[in-house]
Structure 1
Amino acid sequence: MDGIIPLWKEKGKTSHDCVIALRRICQIKKVGHTGTLDPEVEGVLPICINQATKIVPFLTDTKKTYLAEVTLGYSTETEDFTGKTISEKQVQELINDNNIKEILQKFVGTITQTVPLYSAVKVNGMKLYEYARNNIPVDRPSRQVKIDSIDFIEDSIREEAGLFRFSFEVTCSKGTYIRTLCVDIGEALGYPAHMSALVRTETGGFSQTESFTLAQIKEKQEENKLTDVLSPISRGIEHLPVYQVDSETASRVLNGQKLPRPNDIPLDKPFRVQHQGDLLAIYQKHPENEYEIKPVRVFK
């Protein structure tokens, strides 16, 4: 059994918990997830089975869509609702839909984010959250990410006890910290803020509507219908260009051989190699020979 299970990760579970559960349900050892979701976050988490684990890096490096809620009024050390409060300011002025929409649009495009202190990013061999837990000062790195779109969710405004909440949908590049985005949006509106809820609705081409919970997958397993929840490996790399080859070249591809550089495909990123619609491998330009391409992954 090879392929991708579009899992709907529920709150309270880590991504690793889901991998362990699916190993047990599918009775398969070779299982890998495609990007960590925090325990308090729910959403789409594609899980790769057997040979599909070869595409994990390529599926991870895709656009994501989230539904997020930002709360104005106080900020936290973790930038989400789980952390200790570090700054407060009651919201006593009128913030309307147009104010929010105007601010949100300022974040569309390439932006710079400071990596959250409570994250697994390493600085000098140590994870940032380890610095935080040990009260060790550290300069946090910055990174550029891309926001493709960000839209205010109509009728999502809630006001209570000096707090102001609203939701937005964002489509963004890999590596974007939504909790940091929430903090920055709050700052642009003039208030300390944090991310109070988050759902990932799409990643790697897989959406919420086609995802399955662990309970649903278990039910399919008991009915001997696990293939009903399995998508082909090719679904996870549809964002890569395609290079179609003939039968003779297909044999060379399956043997992991280098090939002459094709003229009809861009080589600025890896690409799929297919024969009569069947996925054979992922290739890239040869790092030392500009006239050749070489395999990155081969699917038997």
Structure 2
Amino acid sequence: MSAIASGLVLIDKTQGWTSHDAVARTRRLAGTRKVGHAGTLDPMATGLLILGINSSTRLLTFVVGLDKEYLATIRLGASTTTDDAEGEILVSAAPASVAAIEADAVTAGIAALTGAIEQAPSSVSAIKVDGKRAYARVRAGEDVQLPKRPVTVSEFELLSSTETDGYLDLEVRVVCSSGTYIRALARDLGEALGVGGHLTSLRRTRIGPFGIDAAQTLDELDIPSVLIGPTDAATLLFPRLDLSPEQAVDLGHGKRIDLTGTSVSEIAADSPIAAVAPGGRLVGLVTRRGSQGKTLVNFPPDEPDEPDEPDEPDEPAGVTDTAASTPDLAS
């Protein structure tokens, strides 16, 4: 089959699939090996996974760092080795202690985990410690304690709560910066309430401007019908600069262009700008240097396939939402 055009595809990942499973399936459907993903979802989690095809894998670097929205279930009353339902229970609280949790205490605990906070990632994350993944060290029997790092939880909303078999299940909605671990929020909320906590379900519903409503499952995936072309994708992410024919040629040759009097002449320096040729082709991303625009990333026509590069293993528990989750072929 002929290779499909460049663009982004929004996948609604179902439970049990790994992010690399999704990449492999899409490679077959698209007829190209140049497919990557932006931000891993563990097999337990469901929801939005963004894939790039052909030259649009170059956009994935900019997608990884966008803010994200999740729907999750936090179970209060037990802590686990992985901070989610995939792990073994470490400590269970007495049902009476769970039943005694007051609504105001839950509200206060959520408020304390909202805003700019310091968060210790789960020990089974994909973060590297001395060149080795943290989860691999845990599997080898090591005690891994990762240092806290700054993250931003802009919204942490309690949607509902249900008492179930001696536990208290909280349905929550979280909007957060890249690098935030929802498992860690569950763990820390449980610790603050003195009963332990872990994640039992997680669904990613948004990454930056891309929402789950526009996604398809892998079983129903029809790439041509949902492919977001590079120009449309880039202009969703960045301000648009419409080029003259001469500017398009100059940028394609790596030359700087004059931005004086253009719609992006006041854009903050170093902020990416989508440069679009007459006819709508994405020439590249540029940044402003004074009154000039300098090429940040070029988008040449798609090239023939190259040999496969080895994939990194997915994180075995929870969701990795950090820069460690780089696209397969866009890194």
Give the Å deviation of 1:121. 0.6
Alignment correspondent of 2:318? none
Asked whether 1:207 is paired with 2:214, we answer: no
Alignment correspondent of 2:252? 254
Q: Identify which range, 33-42 or 261-270, moves more after superposition.
A: 261-270
**C-alpha separation in 1, matches of 2:225 and 2:208:** 19
Aligned CA distance change for structure 1 residues 275 and 109 (closer, same or farther; 3 Å): farther
Alignment correspondent of 1:136? 142
Contact 1:59 1:236 in 2 (8 A): no
Asked whether 1:77 is paired with 2:77, we answer: no
Alignment correspondent of 2:229? 232
Q: Which residues of structure 2 form unaligned runs of 5+?
A: 301-331
Higher relative contact order (CA 8 A, sep 6+): 2
**C-alpha separation in 2, matches of 1:241 and 1:91:** 54
Contact 1:91 1:164 in 2 (8 A): no
CA offsets 1:92-136 (integer angstroms, 9 cap, x no match): 234455543343233222111112110111111121112211222
* 2:225 aligned partner, one-letter code: D
Q: Which residues of structure 1 form unaligned runs of 5+?
A: 221-225
* 1:192 aligned partner, one-letter code: G
- 1:213 aligns to what SS in structure 2? coil
Give the Å deviation of 1:179. 0.3
**C-alpha separation in 1, matches of 2:232 and 2:154:** 22
Alignment correspondent of 1:241? 239
- 2:33 aligns to what SS in structure 1? coil
Aligned CA distance change for structure 1 residues 214 and 115 (closer, same or farther; 3 Å): same
- 1:136 aligns to what SS in structure 2? coil
The count of residues paired between Structure 1 and Structure 2 equals 288
Alignment correspondent of 1:267? 269
Name which of 266, 277, 281 aligns with 2:284: 281
**C-alpha separation in 2, matches of 1:271 and 1:91:** 55
Give the Å deviation of 1:202. 1.1
CA offsets 1:3-25 (integer angstroms, 9 cap, x no match): 11111111101000011111112
**C-alpha separation in 2, matches of 1:150 and 1:31:** 33
Q: Identify which range, 12-21 or 263-272, moves more after superposition.
A: 263-272
**C-alpha separation in 2, matches of 1:291 and 1:210:** 38
- 1:166 aligns to what SS in structure 2? strand
**C-alpha separation in 2, matches of 1:7 and 1:32:** 12
Alignment correspondent of 1:299? 299
Name which of 169, 182, 186 aligns with 2:173: 169
Alignment correspondent of 1:31? 35
Q: Identify which range, 253-262 or 201-210, moves more after superposition.
A: 253-262
* TM-score, length basis structure 1: 0.88
Aligned CA distance change for structure 1 residues 191 and 269 (closer, same or farther; 3 Å): farther
- 2:26 aligns to what SS in structure 1? helix
- 1:54 aligns to what SS in structure 2? helix
Contact 2:268 2:288 in 1 (8 A): no
Contact 2:267 2:288 in 1 (8 A): no
- 1:39 aligns to what SS in structure 2? coil
**C-alpha separation in 2, matches of 1:184 and 1:215:** 36
Aligned CA distance change for structure 1 residues 268 and 105 (closer, same or farther; 3 Å): farther
* 1:19 aligned partner, one-letter code: V
